[in-house]
Chains A and B, each alone.
Chain A
Amino acid sequence: MAVSSQSKGNNALRSDKSSAKYTQERVIETALLTVASLAVASIALIFVLLLYQGLQGLTFFGGDIQPNQFWSITTEKEDLVRNPDGSIKTDSEGDFVYEKKQVISSDWQPTSSQLPQYSLIPLLIGSLKVALPSAILAALIGVFVAIYLSELASVRVREVVKPILELLAGVPSVVLGFFALVTIASFVEWITHIPVIFEFLSQTPVLNRLFFPACTFAEGSDLQSVCLSRSQALGVTGGYLNVMVGALGVALVIIPVIATIAEDALRAVPDSIRDASMALGGSRWQTAFSAVVPAAVSGLAAAVILGLGRSLGETMIVLMATGNASITNLNLLDSGRAITATIAAELGESPAGGDHYNALFFIGGVLFIFTFVLNIIGEIVINRARQKVRGGS
């Protein structure tokens, strides 16, 4: 990688180590090394700080959050104790008696005055509800566009499509968030109201759980009939801003990401493989699909993994377009609250050093680890793929 020719340069200097120039060179190199270490230092500092601040909220470190609150699906709630006859039990002084009960619930309600709740479950589900659909959609479109551009399109077409894709890559996410808010939201509402599409989404077994859960009940039940009226079903399941709107917006961010990495992977496939396929009589399409794509498949996988990492970390679109209610369900036409949006929405109103503030750093740390791991996996897969393609040529 490096074009360093330092050995030559330094040999001349080494003959006289006491010279001012030699000292100057060493000082400069050390200074450069120090500056270069800043990148390493900052990523380490980010991680340490998230971890440190995030753990401050836990009971071991002086906070009030029980560690199991983060992942528990039950919550302790104070409740009035009732006598066997149903009346409210009072103690000798006439005050109500409370008892602590385990209730099944997993909420993110850090500002609740009685019992703040810090379950990560709704946030994780919220993040995945946005990230997975957007990554799947963007993977389909991004990889197909990459195959088209790299293998099949003429040079002229490439010269038109590539810059337009680069334009999309340069669009700030807040702009796409705004677009999602004003245009994609209406589009989603319109398209889910189209009778054929509504029937399809609400009557197909798996899809109806994701889009119209009210329609999953047995035939003939009341809910089934509710479901048959579209507007009511849409009224039941979420509003104008929902996870699907956010996911479509996020897909626009990661399509160029996936397409660029996927195209690099395809272009890294040596021409000898294409030539061999062509020489055997394969058409351009056969060559693309049976020779080039299989050779580049790990690179394509890496593109999708890196795209997923980006979509998990996307903030502004999710904040602006998904509605942000912390709801634990799988309905894509319902509101959802992703980790990123939670931090963005709540950090401003949480006093520094409090439990809520620390909990936001904790979920920031969780997000950091997720994206870090996805990036590392992506990098490893890309490097392996590069070596394989080079070695195989």
Chain B
Amino acid sequence: MVMDTPLSATSQGSDPQIQAFKKARENFLAGLLSGMSWLLVAFIILFLLTITINGWPTVSANGFEFLYTSPDKGLDEGGVGPAIFGTIALVVLMTFFALPVGVFTSIYLVEYAGGKPFSRIIRAAVNNLAGVPSIVFGLFGVAFFVLFIGRGLDGLLGYSLANPLWGKPALLWAALTMALLVLPIVIVNTEEALLAVPVSLRSASLALGATQWETISRVVLPQAIPGILTGSILSISRGAGEVAPILFTGAAFLLQDLPVFPGTVIIDPSKQFMELGYHIFILATQSSDVEKTRPAQYASTFVLLAITFFLNFAAIILRSQFRKRAIR
């Protein structure tokens, strides 16, 4: 912007008028940039306040019954208990799939692959997986998990098309779809954690006669656990908030039953489930009286925001802890 004028002109002050003009221009730019940044900050705070002020009264009414009661009268009344349970079930199952795959992929990339061409292909794939639109994961989940694998399983197990066990939307398929979506988050964070473990530790272990896998499993991984945990928490936060991938792979409008085996608290992965984000979407766009359920919409949104913020906050704290440790 000021490229065409020699920089020295300002400091030498050849002409006080020009200098004053430049000063004014700088002040204007300063005001513009800091103003814009602070405006954004103010806006974000305002946004959070809007959700909190409108959501908190409903959430906290009658001893927080909103958090554990079921929706009632269609969706018009009641709480989000099943939706919270479904969200937890989803992220637990998702982590069960995404964490091992993500951690092992990172171990391969950092500890084994080195500069091999295949590692570049894996990295490119991970980067691109992170950029795939979430609705495309939803399409993939329907076609691959629900229809291809699910119906295939039903064929093997002898379930009919009319009465499928696996060939329909289910918690398992939603969790697998979501696991694909969060895989890059786990990988990137685990890689960072592994790279932060000093090479000297590996050398020491190898020098003592440990094999490479012994070195990794007993020396490197324990050191990297905070970083792996950060990645898991961030991916859980992402998984809890995404809706598009589960629209057709498992989330349900309104269910009386939790996705568990009857009479137990063990998650039944073949059932459909209610989910917080999906619940917000349904309440805000599909409920019979959108204005009437507005308080419940704000309250559900507040609950989802609180969960994701708590998780993100935990991840940020954890990350700064292990970064400090890595520097030492």
Q: Name A residues whose Cβ lies closer than 8 Å to a Cβ of B.
A: 1-6, 8-10, 12-13, 21, 24-25, 28-29, 31-33, 35-40, 42-46, 49-50, 53, 141, 144-145, 147-149, 152-153, 160-161, 163-168, 170-175, 177-179, 181-183, 255, 277, 280-283, 285-286, 289-290, 294, 306, 309-310, 312-316, 319-320, 340, 343-344, 347-348, 352, 360-361, 364, 367-368, 371-372, 374-376, 379
Contacts and interface: CB of A to CB of B under 8 A. Distances in A.
B281 interface: yes
Contact of A285 (B29, B41, B101, B248): B29
Contacts of A2: 109-111, 113-115, 119
B30 A368 contact: no
Interface in B154-200: 180, 183-184, 187, 194-195, 197, 199
Contact of A35 (B101, B115, B144, B237): B101
Nearest to B215: A9
Given A3-B202, A50-B136, A177-B281, A309 B131 contact: yes
Interface string B185-226: 001000000110101001100100111110100000000000
Interface in B241-273: 241-244, 247-248
B88 interface: no
Contacts of A376: 128
Contact of B309 (A153, A167, A290): A167
Given A320-B281, A372-B128, A21 B309 contact: no
Given A6-B111, A172-B241, A281 B11 contact: yes
B2 interface: yes
A37 B109 CA distance: 11
Main secondary structure of the interface of B (DSSP, over half): helix
A316 B114 CA distance: 39
A372 B131 contact: yes
Given A1-B195, A3-B195, 4 more contacts: A5-B202, A9-B212, A25-B212, A43-B132
Interface centre among A33, A43, A45, A170 (most CB of B within 10 A): A170
Contacts of B210: 9
B115 to A, nearest CB: 7
Contact of A174 (B44, B121, B124, B281): B281
A21 B304 CA distance: 49
Main secondary structure of the interface of A (DSSP, over half): helix
Contact of B7 (A163, A178, A280, A348): A280
B143 interface: yes
A290 B36 contact: no
A6 B305 contact: no
A40 B111 CA distance: 18
B135 to A, nearest CB: 4
A179 B128 contact: no
B121 A145 contact: no
